[in-house]
């Protein structure tokens, strides 16, 4: 009899979430540059607010690096106001497009041609781009395999007993990268499924009755984020 290799819990969790929700078709954008601007604007706000800000930018013909460099920073802040923290985010957007112009001639192809570790280091060196934003750009715009960790990922994996070092971005990312194939499409779908499940079911105050992974949860009905 041939011994079967046990499947890793992360693989089983993915299959369960995918069976429940199906493909998520994330990230919603027309092209990679829009993904990048959305990744910056979505910091500390709901995606619906980002959509309003992006619609304003598109209406004014601002969805190009050169246009975003030329517009006065105050005017840019007004356009992205729906995304919140608009003065700070305007400076973050400006910092990215200035770097893109100075080093890469506004070519995302040249930027994305960097090996993944170098690309990540370059993005993290830009004002206003942290780990989650950089990794979102790498995964969804550059289409390179890196796992994006967000608050939903932290919360869900902690409740399932898969996240012993709660709040440690690098540790949780390394856990996923070590136990899953390095496949861009898989990482894309997995992250999007966490977002869907975290928004609809595994909230700060969880809705445990309809949960499709409730039998795997070690603390059903308890919000692990309380007091953190």
For residue 58, pLDDT over 60 is answered with: yes
Average pLDDT over residues 149-159: 96
Helical H runs in 22-144?
32-41, 47-59, 65-70, 73-79, 86-104, 108-112, 116-124, 131-136
User: 34, 46, 54, 51: which is closest to 150 by C-alpha?
Assistant: 46
The pLDDT, as a whole number, for residue 7 is 81
Average pLDDT over residues 207-212: 92
Structural domains in the chain, sorted by start: 9-23+148-216 (1.10.1670.10), 32-141 (1.10.340.30)
Average pLDDT over residues 36-43: 98
For residue 131, pLDDT over 50 is answered with: yes
The pLDDT, as a whole number, for residue 164 is 78
Confidence of residue 26 (pLDDT cuts 50, 70, 90): very high
Helical H runs in 105-137?
108-112, 116-124, 131-136
The reported pTM is 0.92
User: 172, 157, 153: which is closest to 218 by C-alpha?
Assistant: 157
The pLDDT, as a whole number, for residue 2 is 36
Distances (CA, A) of 201 to 53, 104, 141, 225: 27, 42, 28, 15
pLDDT tens, residue by residue, 62-112: 999 999 999 999 999 999 999 999 999 999 999 999 999 999 999 999 999
* For the chain, percent of residues with pLDDT exceeding 90: 89
The pLDDT, as a whole number, for residue 218 is 76
The pLDDT, as a whole number, for residue 3 is 39
The pLDDT, as a whole number, for residue 165 is 87
Mean pLDDT estimate for the chain: 93
For residue 228, pLDDT over 50 is answered with: no
The pLDDT, as a whole number, for residue 219 is 62
Average pLDDT over residues 11-18: 95
């Amino acid at each position: 009899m041939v011994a079967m290799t046990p499947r890793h819990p992360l693989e089983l969790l993915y299959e369960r979430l995918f069976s429940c929700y199906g493909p998520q078709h994330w990230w919603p954008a027309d092209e990679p540059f829009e993904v990048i601007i959305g990744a910056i604007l979505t910091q500390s706000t709901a995606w619906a607010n980002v959509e309003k800000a992006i619609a304003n930018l598109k209406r004014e013909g601002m969805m190009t690096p050169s246009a975003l460099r030329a517009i006065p920073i105050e005017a840019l802040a007004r356009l992205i106001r729906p995304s919140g923290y608009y003065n700070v985010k305007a400076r973050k957007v400006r910092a990215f497009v200035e770097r893109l112009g100075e080093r890469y001639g506004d070519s995302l192809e040249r930027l994305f041609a960097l090996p993944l570790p170098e690309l990540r280091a370059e993005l993290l060196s830009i004002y206003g781009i942290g780990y989650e934003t950089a990794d979102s750009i790498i995964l969804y715009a550059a289409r390179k395999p890196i796992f994006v960790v967000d608050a939903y990922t932290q919360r869900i994996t902690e409740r399932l007993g898969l996240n012993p070092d709660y709040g440690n971005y690098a540790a949780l990312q390394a856990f996923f990268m070590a136990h899953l194939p390095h496949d861009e499409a898989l990482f894309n779908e997995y992250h999007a499924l966490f977002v869907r499940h975290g928004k609809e079911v595994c909230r700060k105050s969880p809705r445990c009755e309809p949960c499709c992974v409730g039998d795997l949860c070690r603390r059903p009905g308890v919000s692990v984020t309380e007091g953190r």
